Structure 1
Amino acid sequence: MKILVVDDEVVIRKGLIKLLEQFSKGITDIDEAKNGEEALTRISVNKPDILITDIQMPIMNGLDLIGRVRAVYPELDVIVLSGYAEFDFVQQALRHQVADYLLKPVTQEQLNEVISKILLKDPARWTSQMDGETIRTMKTTVTLLVKNVMAEDQQETDKIIEGWSAHCRKCGYTWLELKQMMGHFQLLFRSELLLNLKQATGDALPVLQQTASSAEELFEVWKNYLASVILYVSERRAPRNKRIVEEVLGRIEAQYGDASLNLQGLAESCGLTAPYLSKIFREVMKKPITQYISEYRLEKARELLKYDAPAKINIVAEQCGFSDYPYFSKIFKKNFGVSPLEYKEKNG
């Protein structure tokens, strides 16, 4: 992907180029020009994919440049730079079907969002070096990654990245091709993740470090990045998870006498998977849900044996959700140090 930056102010031009270098998702060339006339020459020579241009410039302004570009290069995506006092010019630019506009001073996040939207608008245009199988595998891999990130399953995300790494090695991509492809991979992942999180922007998302100098390092960086995203998802959900656990505790209190009460049924009643409910319950309550249910039932049985003298032990066991009396007697003694009968005789 080639980008041309056009602005008569050197500081702004160089600043944008620095931000674009930080973006690095598939960018192979960044060119610059100080006015519209020079930009036309650069466009005819280098054939950029994206043009980022200021509006008010000497010799040929941005609006005239866009008009000339649209006549000759209709496929070129154009991003307009503007100040707050230039909105009338921006409206004129929008009539030329520019892809988007950026208000000065431009931030990294704003630039990332605008470039990402252009790339995601027509992924096939930017993935021409990939064969059909790789594109399909990439989409499937990204979908699986997002699903397991949302399930907060780091072990599974590591396996998925290892599988994708193996696919890339099999295809024999060069280091440059791999970096470009992983740029597209990141765009797809980020876009699908934001949809699942129901976020309009990724301002608060962890940043993928662009520090790798080899394929091995690149995929290790991705594992670390996904771990940080999972932590972000977990922390974002913390209040919601606490509410879910409180709801589950209420269900256990109301249904502990039902011998069929279990993790799977509780998860289904909350619209969750059993592994996910198990995970968040342990995080909030600091113990497994099966242990909590068992301990809750035992405590209720202990209370009945202590305060309901006529109660028969086997009936108490059934009332507290234990259908197997020998098992009930065994774990009761394990928890309280005496058998149900001994406890009843001692406290009756």
Structure 2
Amino acid sequence: MYRILIADDEPVIRKGLQKLIEQSGQPIASLRLAEHGCDALQQIREERPHFLFTDIRMPKMDGLELCRRTAEWDSDIQIVVVSGYNDFEYAQKCLSYGVKEYLLKPISKKSVEAALEKLAKAYAKQASQPFVSVSRLEQWVSAAEEAVWNLQHDRLLEIIGFVRQELASCGLKLYQTIEVLAEFSALLIKRLNVRDVFVFTDKLRLDQVQSESEAVSLFQSDLELMLQELKARRRGKLRDHVEEAKLYIEEHLNEEVSLEEVADRIGLNPSYFSQLFKQSTQETFVQYRTRRRMEKAKKLLALPHYRITDISGEVGYADHPHFTKTFKKYTGELPSEYRSRLGID
């Protein structure tokens, strides 16, 4: 089953290519559409596609730059360039970025089917070479399960260090490392949930990582958190890290508290905390803090004895114009307009 991404700024061509791919007879797991290169790159990082079809001329980020960045992030993603006749020389520059095929506009059903068959053969050859054997992964998970279950923190770190070295020696690409770590985490959670009356949920998110070391660091934080949660559950003192963070933010709205400071306060890796916070609140750390500041500002603006300049300081803005600009962006009104609407001069 193939994951396919189409990047083209022309809706008619984008939809037309989608239809031709759907009619190709190839097994498709997902078929997503992007309006330009920036959109496509974001989608690639969120869910790695097997095949990328991209136009050459697009706003914000053209196809050439998209091919370059895709190849840097994951050279195993197979790329098909879609171009007009006049863009052919320009499209040839993509050769160094691993482009597998060209489709000249207007695109035909036959050319799409031929391109997909070529990509499918290359993918089958690529997929026949496993990153890490199933038996080795099972050994790692079993060892980690015992360490977490028995609350052996030092042993867990030892296992993670061994896994880190093994993955490095395999010479895996970033996406391969991510897939192995994600599978490791999912298997470990499944095993722990069978053994325990408490339910663990999969919190590991690696779609935004930029390097193997960052992926392994987040993976380590995730496993350490499992161990700490299990210890807390057995003592009846399970901590809610996100609620702790919210409380700390609320108590320091008038200060410029950073994500790193809050993460350190509650004992989490900043990258992991950032993902955990967004997953729980559906907002980034900054978005949440800004929203809470603006909500507090609205309450204070409803009190006549507060001056607007004082309110900006109360909600953490030493720069009054910045507060005014942020408040208008959030509410659609200037602070003075908001107060006037309440009947306060």
* Greater length-normalized contact order (CA 8 Å, ≥ 6 residues apart): 1
| Rg comparison, structure with higher value | 1
| TM value normalised by structure 2 | 0.38
| TM value normalised by structure 1 | 0.38
